[in-house]
Structures are given as structure tokens and as C-alpha cells.
Amino acid sequence: MVALLALAALLGVSSAALEVHVGTSSVFSVEGQQAVLPAWFTSHSQKKPYVTWLLDKKDVGPFQILTYMDGVVKVEETELKPRLGFLYPFPTHNISLFINATQERDSGQYLCTVNVVDDVTSTGKNVGVINLTVLVPPAPPACHLQGHPTVGANVTLSCTSEKGKPPPTYQWHRTAPTTQIFFPPAQDQAKGILKLTNLSMDMAGLYVCMAENRAGSAECSILLEVHSTASAKAVIAGAVLGSLGAIATVVFFTRRVVGYRRKKRDSQEEVANEIKEDAIAPKTPSWAHSPPADAISKTSTLSSLASSARGRPYGAHPLPDTHRGTPQRLGGRPGHPQTLNGTPPRRHPNPPNLARAGAVPVMVPAQSRAGSLV
């Protein structure tokens, strides 16, 4: 019986010997820096332990990232392989985990479990839990001005940062000409909004917005220039006049271009007309006005034959030629055929050979013996 109690006591000591401890339940790290998750275990056994680190994320559940078994260290997660490991080499009871160049997606709950072959522990004592939060500093914010900064008007200054974990808070202040801090309700530190009402010339200056969280800070600024009402109207009038001037300039150059093109077209048409008017008509050759003597003679003969044919029927005998000799003075009354001393012109019969050949009678002027027309 005593032996059994002694054995139970030994088992109780043994079971109480294996336990995992953590240095803290929460670890915070800034993005890009190293994170260390402190953990160790206690055991009276001299056997090599079996150590496992797991990462539990809300969207995927727990999965192994690092193990130590039979003296071999193995990284189970490919994405973390170059950045993850045990802080101390084995054999040691310190099983702390390090992560280099932390990223926002490394955030989550890390669990460490230890098992020894000849050691026994109570439920839950061989598990350690550490929450890792990777903080992200604010990205450089952007500052904006809404409204027209004139005397008596209201404007709104806004400041936003697209990145930051936890979400940054914003603080507006004026640095020149004198430092001034703004508080609610003029400023909304969660939204980064500063409202300035009833502007005056003294409210002009450099306004700076500081975005800040636990990981760091960043800032942007706006130079506020307050204009009087008269200057604002002058600026608007100047803008209007500038626009009108630009329009007038465009219209002027458009008219100049159109006028130039029209003038060029008219000058081209005038040159074309001058070329047509100055052109010299081709002269008729001298030979066309003065036909050869033999042609005149032949034409005269045909004319005489044609006249004779119209004066009498075909086959009649010609009148006797009683007026041959020296040409006489032309005479006669107006409106009557010209005659030689009052004698009608002599008619010649159509030569039989021409009539038979189908010649057409042609009227041509009579000619003198010298070949000149009469």
C-alpha cells in the first residue's frame, strides 16, 4: 500500500513537472521589425521533447508553422520559411519564436505545445498562447481645402491617411504666424476635419495635420491665404476678362486666316482671267486669203457654167458671144445685175461632161481676163 502511494506521488510530481510558460499574452510589433514570442517549458525528463508552434487565424483556423521532433527543426509554412525560427538552438527548454520583417498578415494567435515521451501533464498545461499584433504606421496623409477663403466665409480643412493600424487620429495646428492648437467641436480628430468659420485676415497661415498611431506618425500641410471681398471680385473679373480676351484672340486669328485664304483664291482667279484675255488669236495664213490663180480660174469657170445652167433648160443652145473683146466700163442701175455697157452678162452652157458627171452648180463671182474678181 505504501508502495502504491509512493508510486502515485511520483506520478503526481511527474505529471506536474511538464508545463509550458509564456512571457506575455500579447506581443505588438511594428511592420517591418522583428517580433519575439517568449515561451519555455519545464520537465524532469531527459528525453527530447516534441515542440509544435501553430498559428490560428479567424478566417482559416489553426495550422502548423514550426516543429521540433527527433532533433530536427522544420518550418511548415512556406510563406514564413525565410523569416521564422526558434530563438535558441536545441537542446534547451527555451522554445521562444522569432519572426523577422513582420507584416500585417502575420497578426494572429500563436499556440505552442510540448510533449515528452516519459512525462505526463495535466490537460492544458502543455499549451502556451500568445497574441501577436503587427502595427502599421500611418501613410503620409493628404490635405484638402474646401470652400473659398475670403473674409467672412467658412472653409473646411480635411486630412486622411489611406493606411494605418490601428486607425490613426488626426491633429490640426497652425504654425505661422503664431502656433495655435484646435480642439472639438472645431476639429474632429477621428475624421481629420477642421472647420474655420467667419474667416479674417489674421487667420491666414500654414496649417499642419498630424496623423498618428502607436506605430508612428506622418503629416501634411496647407498654406491658407485669406482674400478680401474686393480682391476676390477682382480675381473673378480678371478670370472673366482673360477668358474673353482668349476668345477675341481666337476670333481675330480665325478671321485673318479666312481673309488670307479668300485673298489668295481671288488673286489666283485674277491671274487666270488675265492669261485668258492676253492670249493672241492665231493668224490666218496668207495663203488662205489669196488662193492661187489657177484655182480662181477654175472656180470662175465652174461659176459661169452653173449660172448658164440655171438660165436655160438642159440641152439648149448657148447665145452667140457678141461681146468678146476689150473689157467695157461697168454700168447698170442699182439693184440690177452689173453689165458691160448695159449688156447682160454672157451665159455659158453647162459642159456636157460635167453635167453627166453629176456636178453641182456653184455661184462664184465673175473675173476679168487678168484674173481679178469683178
| Contact status, residue 164 vs residue 139, Cβ threshold 8 Å | yes
Sign of CA dihedral 14, 16, 19, 23: negative
Tell me, what's the pLDDT at 244? 65
Position 151 pLDDT exceeds 80: yes
17-135: what CATH class?
mainly beta
The pLDDT assigned to 246 comes to 65
Q: Are strands 330-331 and 26-30 parallel, antiparallel or unpaired?
A: unpaired
- What pLDDT score does 176 carry? 84
Q: What is the mean pLDDT of the chain?
A: 74
The CATH number of the structural domain formed by 142-224 is 2.60.40.10
Weakest mean pLDDT among 76-80, 100-104, 197-201, 265-269: 265-269
Q: Which residue has the higher pLDDT, 370 or 227?
A: 227
Same fold yes or no, 17-135 and 142-224: yes
The answer, yes or no, to whether residue 79 has pLDDT greater than 60, is yes
Measured distance CA(183)–CA(52) in Å, rounded:
51
**What is the per-residue pLDDT for 268?**
67
Q: What is the pLDDT of residue 361?
A: 54
Average pLDDT over residues 67-95: 90
Amino acid 355: pLDDT = 47
Dihedral angle of Cα 25, 28, 31, 34, to the nearest 10 degrees = -70
Question: What pLDDT is recorded for position 369?
Answer: 46
Q: Where are the alpha helices (DSSP H) in the chain?
A: 2-17, 229-277, 286-289, 293-311, 352-356
- Mean pLDDT is lowest, of 143-147, 194-198, 248-252, for 248-252
pLDDT computed for residue 113 by the predictor: 94
Q: How confident is the model at residue 120 (pLDDT cuts 50, 70, 90)?
A: confident
- Separation CA 32–CA 316 (nearest Å): 143
Phi-psi map region of 355: left, alpha, beta (phi>0 left; psi -120 to 50 alpha): alpha
Answer whether 305's CB lies under 8 Å from 349's CB: yes
Could you tell me which residue, 269 or 19, shows the higher pLDDT? 19
Q: For the residues 63-83, what does the mean pLDDT come to? A: 89
Taking residues 340-346, report their average pLDDT: 48
Would you give the DSSP letter of residue 45? -
> Of 9-23, 62-76, 187-201, which has the strongest mean pLDDT?
187-201
C-alpha cell at 154: 467658412
Return the C-alpha cell found at 35: 517580433
**pLDDT above 90 (res 145):** yes
Average pLDDT value for residue range 14-21:
73
Domain ranges of the chain: 17-135, 142-224, 293-315+332-374
Compute the average pLDDT of residues 268-296. Answer: 51
Given a cut of 80, whether residue 325 has pLDDT beyond it is no
> What's the mean pLDDT in 265-281?
57
CA dist list (Å): 237 to 219, 229, 232: 36, 12, 9
Q: Omega into 349 within 30° of 0, i.e. cis?
A: no
Confidence band (pLDDT; 50, 70, 90) for 245? low
**Considering the chain, what percentage of its residues have pLDDT values greater than 90?**
45
pLDDT at 174: 95
